[in-house]
Amino acid sequence: MNLQTVSLREPRTNWADVCALEDILAGTGVSAIVDGEQIALVKTRNGELHAVSNFDPFSKTFVIARGIVGDRAGVPKIASPIYKQNFNLVTGECFDDTSVRLHVYAVRVAAGRIQVLRSNERCQA
C-alpha cells in the first residue's frame, strides 16, 4: 500500500477528552473516535497508556484495539486480532514487517480523564 501523507488544514495541538481512566481494564484496549479518526487506546498490565491508530493495515479493518496486549522483551505491544501481526505500542512499528507502522498519538491523563493529542495529519490512499 502506498499511502501519502497530506496536510489538509492548520495544525491543531489541543488535547481531546476521550474517557475515564477506569473505562479501560489493565491489559486491554478500547477504540475511540476523535475528529473522525479511529484510535486504539491501550492500558498495559502495568498501567501504562498508549494510543495508536485503530486501523490494521494488513486486514484493512479498524480492529487494533481488540487485540491482545502484552510485551516483547519488555517492549509493550499489541497483536492484531485478525492476522496476529504484532505492533510496538511505543513506536507503532510492526514487529513482523518493519515497513509498516501505525500512527502513534500522544496520550495523557488529566483529572482522571484520558486525553489524546489531536492529530494534525490526515492520510489519503
Q: Which residues bind another protein (CB under 8 A)?
A: 1-3, 5, 17-19, 23-28, 30-38, 41, 44-46, 53-55, 57, 59-63, 66-74, 76-77, 79, 81-82, 84, 86, 92-93, 98-103, 119, 121-125
> From the CB of 12, what's the least distance to another protein, in Å?
14
Sign of CA pseudo-dihedral 21, 64, 104, 34:
negative
The residue (of 74 and 112) whose beta carbon lies closer to another protein is 74
User: CB of residue 72 vs another protein: minimum separation in angstroms?
Assistant: 7
Which distant-in-sequence residues (6+ apart) come within 8 Å of 101 by Cβ? 91, 92, 93, 94
Closest CA to 50 of 121, 120, 116, 96: 116
